Structure 1
Amino acid sequence: MESLELTVFGLALVCLTIWCVNWIMHIVSLIYGKCCLHKQHADVIVEDLPGISILKPLVGIDPNLFENLETFFNMKYPAYELLFCIQDEFDASRMIVQSLMDKYPAVDAKMFLGGKNVGINPKVNNMVIGYEAAKYDLIMISDSGIKMREDTLIDMAIHMTSKVGLVHQMPYICTRKGFASNLEKMYFGTQHAKIYFLADVLRINCATGMSVLMRKSVLEEAGGLREFGQYLAEDFFMAQAFLDRGWRVKCCSQLALQNSGTYSISHHTRRMCRWMKLRNAMVPTTLLFEPLSLCFVVGLLASWGASYIFDVSPLTFLLVHTLFWFLLDYTRLKQLENASVPFPKFDFVVCWFMNEIGYMLLLVQSHLEPTINWRGRKFRLKWGGVVEEIYTKQLV
């Protein structure tokens, strides 16, 4: 009986330890946001910054595509080139790119059609020709839905110090109309931001490929862009290639502003579920640790632990825990906005609860269905992040 009590006490202590670790994560991420976000670089000599080749893979059109692409033609940076990569020569995005190239003839911009089949990843296949034609050593990959600030390239280039090989932007969401956009902003501005900032502090691979600046020379040592065509999550493996060669991977102070004009709650949940499947395959430890970073999972475990060890009311403990977690998430979102939260407080409450509860359901869903649907194609995911495409027989 004494041995059983000791075991239960140990479990309760573990639950409280997990709870304490999560609060440390909250505090560290808030300090990171205060110290590292939205930096100004007024004293930088811009003319001394190195040239950058920007790869823009495009497939189809989006209501905000013209607006997003135009921001790249208006950046304040001394030397950069835009390399638009379009898989299909009949793709409608080609007309938008051409109209912008005609509107801004002084900007060094080129268009590449067709791509090369170097692996299973359609994004990599699309970019290979543009990558091979890039004239600068610094290569930036930027998704079509990203909207850039005028000084973003300056911020990223400044973070590319002598020991840094890859600079990435933390994903965030532009302020758009509708509840679905608010829900996306809630995910990227709270739970995701907390983990992302902590990973940068601990130098853990958490880079995203939607807006990333890399040294081409180092990427060539790893086999070039084509080497990563075998993975769907090519961004993770590219960042790992830099880390394996002794280079630092660094998050810059500006955010990757996603500004897709097509968005919905269902689109957001499918996207999150796909990312979870990829994380589970590439880093299996996330199967254990990701659920233990959620407010209600941690709160329930800690409530039981506190009630067993300290004989406090588990309900009171859970309510206080939830309230403070909620307030810190609200503070973090304000940090990312660098202003007030851009939607009503009632929407924040609803989105916050939907994000916390729905995330757990998505974790379960990601385990039940191992296949991935992406860009109209279906893939079977294997451990290690390698995928194979699933082909459907056509009936004649």
Structure 2
Amino acid sequence: MSMIELVLLILCLAAVIFYGYGIYAAIAFIRHPQSINSQFHPAISILKPVCGLDRDTQTNLASFCQQDYPEYQIVFAVRDRHDPVIAVVEKLILQFPQVDVQLVVSDRIIGANLKVSNLANAVVAAKHEVLLMADSDIRVGKDYLQRVIQPLQDDNVGVVTCLYRSLAAGWVTTLEAVGTATDFPTGVLVSNQNSGIKFAFGSTIVIRQQVLKAIGGFGAIADYLADDFQLGYLPAQAGYKVILSDYIVDHVLETSTLFDAIQRQIRWARCIRVSRPWDYLGLLLTHGTCNSLLLLVATGGSTLGWLVLIITWVMRLLMGWVVSVKILHDPVAKKFWWVIPVRDLISFVIWCLGWMGSTIQWRGQQLRLGRGGKMTTVV
């Protein structure tokens, strides 16, 4: 066996082990559901940064106005007073008079990440100690607040975050949703099972104001692309726990072209690379689909090559099914799980492209990523 064949074999075995452990971590996660204390319901300020119209914006934002929860407010923040999303928010204010909904329009900028500037403008109007942030393309059920707030009963918990399942329209977003549901959550569940997570996601971030102040407020993350990651990482560094809620939110994917989808994923890949280079390199151990194909080619279609490929692909498909269907209850992945190998090959190409370049396009801005994921505007 040549050195190349040996390296590929080791990579395939590592992937199989990862897939197996991913299944174990997923099963362990659902076996320990979080208990619900109906008497625990601290007042919450929901901060919603909005910019433009997403797919189903009205429905997505309205879902936060329909919570079975005694006391909460929603602060929508937008930069441009001519933004069409303002009309949607004003309609929600009229539609839900019983909910404390406010709209903040401010073009104040505190850093390269305009979303964080929106959050900084919104928090000024927050009335409560507990803050909750969620992206504008997130949709939730009526029990959302009561469920995600539960971990804060422990004073050592600084942040609560959620996994998400994608709602797709069109074959491009369907392909993207399959990859998201069958790949990304596994790494999160494995980290959660090992030593707990030390990051958060824009799908949901619950944080106390005192914790936010302890890490330097929104100003501390105003120049980072992965602001959600930092809102989990910095509190973890400060000694607080970050808890993964068992509540799964819906992520409504915008219909997009193949080029836009690939560019978006390359942007995420480059962000991970500059933020956590060793973790990004370690992702090579999870690309079993591609590595087993390369081994098959390298060994000239040998029996060993075919055996490793079959084992690797079976474990990959099984892991994808368990995570996406049993944990996320993802309707897209359940229907199209058989395209996982195709999606994995695309992911491998994107992973390779993630090593190249440091500039990204984001909401009309051209930005350069620096050490740790910090951004500077390209003039």
1:143 is displaced (CA, Å) by: 0.8
Q: Which amino acid aligns with 2:374?
A: V
* 1:105-254 map, 5 Å: 105-160=97-152, 161-174=154-167, 176-201=168-193, 202-254=195-247
Check the 8 A contact 1:62/1:262 in 2, yes or no. Answer: no
Larger radius of gyration between Structure 1 and Structure 2: 1
* Structure 1 residue aligned with 2:83: 91
Q: Aligned partners of 1:293 and 1:12: how far apart in 2?
A: 12
Q: CA deviation at 1:33?
A: 4.4
Check 1:298–1:30 CA distance in 2 against 1; reply closer, same or farther (3 A cut): farther
Matches within 5 A, 1:1-396: 14-15=10-11, 18-19=14-15, 21-36=17-32, 39=33, 44-46=37-39, 48-160=40-152, 161-174=154-167, 176-201=168-193, 202-299=195-292, 313-338=304-329, 341-342=331-332, 347-349=336-338, 351-391=339-379
2:313 partner letter: T
CA drift at 1:256: 2.8
Q: CA RMSD in A?
A: 2.8
Question: Could you tell me how far 1:17 is from its partner in structure 2?
Answer: 5.6
Counterpart code for 2:166? I
Cα 1:104/1:12, change in 2 over 3 Å: closer
Distance 1:66 1:300, change over 3 A: same
CA contact (8 A) 2:81 2:105 kept: yes
**Are the counterparts in 1 of residues 162 and 204 from structure 2 also a CA contact under 8 Å?**
yes
Letter aligned with residue 267 of structure 1: D
TM-score using structure 1 length: 0.86
Distance (whole Å) between structure 2 residues aligned to residue 301 and residue 113 of structure 1: 53
How far off its partner does 1:133 sit? 2.0
Instruction: Read off the aligned partner of 2:372 and give its amino acid letter.
Output: G
Residues of 2 paired with 1:166 and 1:49: CA distance? 16
One-letter identity of the residue aligned with 1:336: I
**SS at 1:97's partner residue?**
helix
CA contact (8 A) 2:290 2:344 kept: no
Amino acid at match of 1:332: V
Percent of aligned pairs with the same residue? Answer: 22
Runs of 4+ in 1 over 3 A off after TM superposition: 7-17, 260-267, 297-305, 336-339, 341-345
| Unpaired runs of at least 5, structure 2 | none
| Conservation of the 8 A alpha-carbon contact between 2:164 and 2:251 | yes
Distance 1:9 1:60 in 2: 50
> Matches of 2:4 and 2:85 in 1, distance apart?
61
On the 8 A contact 2:188/2:197 being kept in 1, the answer is no
| CA apart distance, 1:19 | 3.9
CA contact (8 A) 1:296 1:356 kept: yes
Residues 148 and 304 of structure 1: CA distance in aligned 2, closer, same or farther (over 3 Å): same
Q: 1:300 offset after TM fit, Å?
A: 5.4
* Kept in 2: contact 1:58–1:84 (CA 8 A): yes
Amino acid at match of 2:22: H
| Distance of 1:44 and 1:97 partners within structure 2 | 32
Question: Which whole-Å CA distance do the structure 2 matches of 1:329 and 1:68 have between them?
Answer: 27
Q: Could you say if the C-alpha distance between residues 181 and 8 of structure 1 is closer, same or farther in structure 2, counting changes exceeding 3 Å?
A: closer
Once residues 275 and 267 of structure 2 are traced to their aligned partners in structure 1, the CA distance between those partners, rounded to angstroms, is: 13
Q: C-alpha displacement at 1:15, in angstroms?
A: 4.4
Deviation at 1:259, TM superposition (A): 1.3
Moved more, 277-286 or 113-122: 113-122
Question: Is the 8 Å Cα contact of residues 55 and 137 (structure 2) preserved in structure 1?
Answer: no
Deviation of 1:286 after TM superposition, in Å, equals 2.6
Q: 1:13, 1:262 → 2: CA distance?
A: 39
- Tell me, yes or no, if the aligned pair for 1:140 and 1:213 is still in contact at 8 Å: yes
1:378 Cα deviation (Å)? 0.5
Check 1:184–1:33 CA distance in 2 against 1; reply closer, same or farther (3 A cut): farther
Kindly state the Cα deviation for residue 298 of structure 1 after the two structures are TM-superposed: 4.8
Contact 2:45–2:72, Cα closer than 8 Å, also in 1? yes
Residues 110/49 of structure 1: CA separation in 2 closer, same or farther (3 Å cut): same
2:182–2:333: 8 Å Cα contact kept in structure 1? no
Taking structure 1 as reference, are residues 381 and 8 closer, same or farther at Cα in structure 2, changes over 3 Å only? closer
Q: What TM-score does the superposition give when structure 2 sets the normalisation length?
A: 0.90
Using a 3 Å threshold, how does the CA distance of structure 1 residues 179 and 289 change in structure 2: closer, same or farther? same
1:313 & 1:166 partners in 2: Cα distance? 47
Contact kept in structure 2, 1:25 and 1:198, CA below 8 Å: yes
Secondary structure of the 1:270 match is: helix
Shift in CA distance, 249/343, structure 1 to aligned 2, threshold 3 Å: closer
**1:337/1:242 Cα in 2 relative to 1: closer, same or farther (>3 Å)?**
closer
**2:15–2:287 contact (8 Å) kept in structure 1:** no
Q: Return the letter of the residue paired with 2:214.
A: E
